[in-house]
């Protein structure tokens, strides 16, 4: 189980997504992946990036790759704080307490081709309530089509998404 901490410290975050996050002494502590609002960003910790790169290099050297599947969304787990922030931007934001907020759909991805849009909220995966992004990431390890129930405004819609294989 992954535990997340909200940390406020003396760090330098440039105002872009996909940039490095530094302590003021120059140490890289992560890569910024998403800017939600002024002063609110999400980053992948540098230790997780290091672990991923080392694992990938080890698999490449051994000639073994895991199958990675991709649907093409940038997503956030729905939390009370996120819903509050999104309601400030859009007073008509749907009444949800769990699921995944689709921040961005990658152009030409399986999600876009299947009908998923920026701002959608994925509330169920294969008929089961979706509690976090980890649930979707875990489902991508299975070799099946994903049935997503999406809340768009006041409508609940169903989409079958066939993930692409991006690494073997």
Give yes or no: residues 105 and 43 share one domain: no
Give yes or no: residues 71 and 57 share one domain: no
- What mean pLDDT comes out for the span 127-135? 93
Give yes or no: residues 120 and 46 share one domain: no
Domain hosting residue 126, numbered range: 67-167
CATH, residue 132: 2.30.42.10
Final residue in a domain of this structure, among 43, 61, 79: 61
- What mean pLDDT comes out for the span 48-75? 78
Give yes or no: residues 50 and 100 share one domain: no
Task: Grade residue 54 by pLDDT with cuts at 50, 70 and 90.
Answer: confident
Give yes or no: residues 55 and 108 share one domain: no
17-51 tens-digit pLDDT = 567 777 777 777 777 776 666 666 677 787 887 88
Residues 123, 101: Cα–Cα separation, whole Å: 9
**Strand 68-70 vs strand 73-77: parallel, antiparallel, or unpaired?**
unpaired
Give yes or no: residues 103 and 38 share one domain: no
Residues 131, 77: Cα–Cα separation, whole Å: 7
Residue 141, token pair as written in the block: 């390890």
- If phi over 0 gives left and psi between -120 and 50 gives alpha, with beta otherwise, what is residue 63? left
Percent of the chain with pLDDT over 70: 78
**Integer CA distances (angstroms), 107 to 20, 32, 74, in order:** 24, 21, 12
- What mean pLDDT comes out for the span 130-151? 92
Task: Grade residue 16 by pLDDT with cuts at 50, 70 and 90.
Answer: low
Give yes or no: residues 93 and 160 share one domain: yes
Task: Grade residue 52 by pLDDT with cuts at 50, 70 and 90.
Answer: confident
Has residue 147 got a pLDDT over 90? yes
Give yes or no: residues 101 and 115 share one domain: yes
Final residue in a domain of this structure, among 61, 82, 108: 61
Final residue in a domain of this structure, among 37, 61, 85: 61
If one counts the domains in the chain, the total is 2
83-105 tens-digit pLDDT = 999 999 999 999 899 999 999 99
Give yes or no: residues 40 and 73 share one domain: no
Residue 160, token pair as written in the block: 């079958």
Q: Which residue has the higher pLDDT, 40 or 73?
A: 73
Give yes or no: residues 54 and 83 share one domain: no
CA–chain centroid gap for 60, Å, is 25
Give yes or no: residues 48 and 91 share one domain: no
> pLDDT value at position 1?
45
Give yes or no: residues 115 and 151 share one domain: yes
Task: Grade residue 61 by pLDDT with cuts at 50, 70 and 90.
Answer: low
């Amino acid at each position: 189980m992954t535990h997340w901490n909200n940390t406020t410290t003396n760090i330098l975050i440039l105002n872009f997504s996909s940039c490095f996050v530094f302590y003021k002494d120059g140490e890289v502590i992560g890569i910024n992946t998403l800017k939600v609002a002024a002063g609110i960003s999400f980053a992948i910790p540098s230790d997780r990036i290091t672990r991923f790169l080392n694992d990938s290099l080890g698999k490449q050297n051994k000639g073994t790759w895991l199958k990675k599947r991709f649907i093409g969304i940038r997503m956030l787990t729905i939390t009370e704080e996120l819903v509050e922030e999104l309601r400030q931007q859009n007073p008509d934001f749907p009444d949800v307490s769990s699921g995944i907020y689709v921040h961005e759909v990658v152009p030409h991805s399986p999600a876009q081709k299947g009908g998923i849009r920026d701002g959608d909220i994925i509330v169920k995966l294969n008929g089961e309530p979706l509690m976090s992004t980890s649930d979707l990431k875990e489902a991508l390890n299975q070799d099946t089509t994903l049935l997503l129930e999406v809340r768009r405004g006041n409508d609940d819609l169903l989409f079958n998404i066939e993930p692409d294989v991006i690494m073997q």
